[in-house]
């Protein structure tokens, strides 16, 4: 192919077991109204086509007059960037999901893949073909074509690309999501072909993730790394300003949107750090939608006459990771198991989270393909914990630091209280815990650079595929992991998976997860994940804590808000009543 029409993967991309390389932390993705159908051949190759539906794709809303007004969305933490390629934070995704579209997306309120900037796609073995939507404009007036996706792809992955913003700028989502892609070929302005190194089951769900949105090639060339403050997308809202001092982002409606145009005139994202204060802001009329609710704040909303508590089961996990690379006692399986027995996760879920979460026994929640029904959460058993510590040579205990974020997250709505419970539980078996509280963005930098002994983390799925938990959070994704131990030293490897905060590297687990990536047949993938869950449970690289409900507070004058297990929020669907 001519050089202008294709981009071949170079040595900076790694392959793990013939599959994707590198990884992520915490995300969500967009939505749509189009229908998707999938056919799988007997040979295990998937042929999938997504066709544009008639609803929500004409560039006009059902109510052309719209409700107008300003929708205020209050959350617990700010956005550290407005560039989806520069972050692993779901707080960024909440804003960038309004500004940008992807080739495909998730239907609001479901895990179904529907059309986005691609109107049709086909997966056939190791080839993905995308037919692109014509007549779409970026917010700066540039027309969307295949060149924009090629430029977006190269900016994320190609260190030789003129507009590559640098390794320190980019997140690991690029190589996680597209590392299996050997080549992207542009066939005219409106067709793309992705050549894969091997069949890769999560490829289409990966393309729907928040970090796989499409930048304008012209904006890439104009702004470079300054795109993090000057986002230019094709989405239902366009960027107006970002008051970083007051943690406020303002967007305006894109009346030329190709999909369902917004009925509100603008959206303002604000930050109210404390849960109860955020609920009170909603009830007093200072916000229209809020998230990051804990037990007490959700009860305030539920008992109110002026707002509604909207909820649904989440596809997430909250956990405490043991950093085996830094803290030597955690390299002993018996010690990790002992900590699991010592921590009363049932009490954390019931007393602190107060029924808005359930105990976890494995990384994925029920309902995700590959969930192992035979596994139970570790029971609270201090005597068994003490016995295991003595067996491992730590009968007199030890000290370690537990790093935690301060602000609420869906998977851990009361992190400081939960950390205090962990500290108390472990003190009963002779382990002394020092709690290190940090705001979210510095905390992510701290854990991504493996400065923690142990840390609270969590995950809100990007695509509802088990690979997005097992590979994304627990595979080191490095070449030549050590054979004589089950952990890596991140300093010894290029681009280790920083979302694997335990630095865990169990060879049997890795093989199962890699094999599950290479077939499109769920009947073959599911048993691999069930076995991987057994290994996880036995080896205990984490304390698996909870799977939490998704909760939102919505003012009574708001119509059309849909809570979503993945992606969103879908604010172009929202209307404000007078």
Q: How do 70-75 and 289-290 pair as beta strands?
A: parallel
Answer yes or no: are the C-beta atoms of 16 and 514 closer than 8 Å: yes
Angle between helices 507-517 and 467-474 (to 10 degrees): 140
Q: How do 542-555 and 307-313 pair as beta strands?
A: antiparallel
- Give the other-Cβ count within 10 Å of 305's Cβ: 6
Angle between helices 295-302 and 275-283 (to 10 degrees): 10
At residue 43, φ and ψ (nearest 5 deg) are -80, 5
pLDDT score, position 175:
85
Tell me the pLDDT tens digit for each residue of 501-545: 999 999 999 999 999 999 999 999 999 999 999 999 999 999 999
The candidate with the shortest Cα–Cα distance to 567, out of 77, 25, 107, is 107
- In Å, the largest CA–CA distance within the chain is 72
Residue 292 backbone zone (phi > 0: left; psi -120 to 50: alpha; other: beta): left
Cβ-proximal residues to 305 (8 Å cutoff; 6+ apart), any chain: 556
Token pair belonging to 535: 């290994």
Query: CA neighbours within 13 Å on the CB side: how many for 117?
Result: 30
pTM: 0.80
pLDDT score, position 384:
98
First to last CA, the chain: 57
> How far is it, in rounded angstroms, from Cα 422 to Cα 424?
5
> How far is it, in rounded angstroms, from Cα 396 to Cα 140?
64
Token pair belonging to 315: 């596809």
Answer yes or no: are the C-beta atoms of 363 and 533 closer than 8 Å: yes
Answer yes or no: are the C-beta atoms of 74 and 290 closer than 8 Å: yes
> How far is it, in rounded angstroms, from Cα 465 to Cα 208?
12
> How far is it, in rounded angstroms, from Cα 109 to Cα 103?
19
Domains, the chain: 3-264+556-576 (3.90.76.10), 316-550 (3.10.105.10)
At residue 366, φ and ψ (nearest 5 deg) are -55, 145
> How far is it, in rounded angstroms, from Cα 17 to Cα 24?
18
Distances (CA, A) of 549 to 33, 200, 295, 353, 414: 24, 30, 11, 10, 13
> How far is it, in rounded angstroms, from Cα 343 to Cα 5?
56
The candidate with the shortest Cα–Cα distance to 77, out of 415, 393, 399, 309, is 415
Answer yes or no: are the C-beta atoms of 517 and 471 closer than 8 Å: yes
Residues of the chain with pLDDT under 50: 1-66
Tokens 């074509």 sit on residue: 145
pLDDT score, position 252:
98
The candidate with the shortest Cα–Cα distance to 131, out of 188, 80, 199, is 188
Answer yes or no: are the C-beta atoms of 46 and 520 closer than 8 Å: yes
Residue 206 backbone zone (phi > 0: left; psi -120 to 50: alpha; other: beta): alpha
């Amino acid at each position: 192919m001519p050089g202008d029409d294709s981009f071949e993967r170079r040595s900076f991309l790694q392959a793990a077991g013939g599959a994707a390389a590198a990884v992520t932390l915490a995300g969500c993705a967009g939505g749509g109204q189009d229908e998707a159908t999938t056919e799988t051949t007997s040979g295990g190759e998937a042929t999938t086509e997504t066709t544009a539906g008639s609803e929500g794709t004409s560039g006009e809303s059902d109510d052309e007059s719209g409700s107008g007004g300003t929708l205020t969305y209050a959350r617990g933490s700010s956005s550290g960037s407005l560039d989806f390629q520069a972050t692993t934070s779901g707080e960024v995704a909440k804003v960038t999901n309004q500004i940008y579209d992807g080739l495909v997306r998730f239907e609001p309120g479901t895990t179904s893949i529907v059309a986005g900037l691609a109107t049709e796609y086909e997966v056939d073995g190791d080839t993905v073909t995308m037919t692109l939507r014509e007549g779409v404009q970026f917010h700066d007036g540039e027309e969307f074509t295949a060149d924009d996706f090629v430029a977006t792809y190269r900016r994320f992955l190609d260190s030789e690309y003129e507009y590559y913003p640098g390794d320190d700028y980019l997140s690991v989502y690029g190589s996680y999501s597209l590392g299996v892609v050997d080549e992207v070929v542009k066939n005219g302005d409106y067709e793309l072909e992705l050549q894969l190194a091997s069949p890769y089951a999560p490829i289409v769900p990966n393309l729907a993730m928040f970090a796989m949105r499409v930048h304008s090639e012209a904006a890439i060339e104009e702004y470079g790394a300054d795109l993090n403050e000057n986002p230019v997308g094709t989405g239902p809202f366009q960027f107006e300003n970002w008051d970083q001092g007051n943690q406020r982002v303002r967007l305006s409606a894109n009346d030329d949107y190709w999909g369902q145009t917004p009925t509100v005139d603008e959206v303002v994202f604000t930050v109210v750090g404390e849960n109860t204060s955020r609920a009170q802001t909603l009830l007093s009329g200072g916000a229209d939608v809020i998230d990051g609710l804990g037990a007490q704040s959700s009860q305030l909303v539920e008992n109110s006459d002026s707002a509604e508590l909207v909820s649904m089961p989440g596809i997430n996990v909250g956990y405490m990771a043991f950093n085996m690379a830094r803290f030597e006692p955690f390299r002993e399986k018996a010690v990790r198991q002992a900590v699991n027995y010592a921590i009363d996760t049932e009490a954390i879920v019931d007393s602190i989270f107060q029924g808005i979460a359930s105990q976890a026994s494995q990384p994925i929640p029920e309902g995700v393909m590959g969930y192992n029904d035979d596994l139970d959460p570790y029971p609270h058993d201090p005597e068994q914990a003490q016995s295991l510590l003595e067996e491992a040579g730590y009968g007199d205990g030890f000290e370690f630091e537990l790093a935690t974020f301060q602000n609420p997250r869906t998977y851990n709505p009361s992190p400081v209280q939960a950390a205090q419970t962990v500290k108390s539980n472990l003190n009963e078996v002779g382990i002394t815990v020092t709690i290190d509280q940090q705001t979210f963005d510095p905390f992510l930098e701290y854990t991504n650079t493996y400065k923690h002994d142990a840390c609270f983390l969590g995950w809100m799925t990007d695509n509802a595929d088990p690979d997005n938990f097992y590979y994304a959070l627990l595979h080191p994704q490095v070449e030549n992991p050590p054979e004589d131990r089950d952990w890596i030293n991140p300093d010894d490897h290029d681009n280790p998976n920083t979302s694997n905060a335990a630095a865990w590297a169990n060879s049997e687990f890795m093989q199962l997860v890699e094999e599950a990536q290479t077939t499109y047949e769920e009947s073959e993938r599911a048993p691999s994940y069930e076995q991987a869950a057994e290994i996880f449970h036995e080896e205990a690289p984490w304390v698996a804590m909870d799977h939490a409900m998704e909760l939102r507070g919505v003012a009574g004058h708001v119509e059309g808000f849909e809570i979503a297990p993945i992606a969103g929020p879908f604010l172009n669907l929202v209307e404000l009543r007078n």
